Amino acid sequence: MVHSDVAPLPAKQPATALAGPYGHPLHPALVAIPIGAWVASLVFDLASFVVPDPAFLVLGARWLIAIGVLGALAAAAFGFLDLLAIPSGTRAQRIALVHMTLNLSATVVFVVDFLLRAGHMSGPVAIGPLVLSVAALAAVTLSGFLGGELAYRYGVRVADERVQASGYRREQR
């Protein structure tokens, strides 16, 4: 609920209740799933080069990639709902479109990466899938920077400053 006499900018309000209530967007919470899964898959990949029998790491990395793809699709759905609240023709919308494009591209690369890994069970991860993971994570990192710019610089789906200030007032006892 907004606690000021001035309505917040449209980009601060959810386009629909499904996106999460005012000040509590779901997209930022969901992005932890693909980021965590994909970073863990890269750690597994790198570890597959230093253990004597890496099959469990190679298989684990593949399934972490799958978990990341599913998480990315969920995060994308809620991110798209947040995108709908951003006024068209604005710098915030342009950044949001690049953010979305990078994330969707990285997700497609991870789907290809997952498929390339099918049947590979001996030895460390192959170089091709490893390179794809690193490239896709680089895109996700750049996209995360842009997502941070949307939230922290432009306040997309962040509560109005007056609402934020209410959390810093000393409570009367």
Q: Is residue 137 part of a domain?
A: yes
Q: pLDDT, tens digit, for every residue of 28-66?
A: 999 999 999 999 999 999 999 999 999 999 999 999 999
Q: Is residue 13 part of a domain?
A: no
Q: Is residue 67 part of a domain?
A: yes
Q: What is the 3-state secondary structure (H, E, C) of the chain?
A: CCCCCCCCCHHHCCCCHHHCCCCCCCHHHHCHHHHHHHHHHHHHHHHCCCCCCCHHHHHHHHHHHHHHHHHHHHHHHHHHHHHHCCCCCCHHHHHHHHHHHHHHHHHHHHHHHHHHCCCCCCCCCCHHHHHHHHHHHHHHHHHHHHHHHHHHHCCCCCCCHHHHHHCCCCCCC
What is the number of domains present in the chain?
Answer: 1
Q: Which structural domain range is residue 72 located in?
A: 22-166
Q: pLDDT, tens digit, for every residue of 123-160?
A: 999 999 999 999 999 999 999 999 999 998 988 888 77
Q: Is residue 135 part of a domain?
A: yes
pTM recorded for the entire structure: 0.86
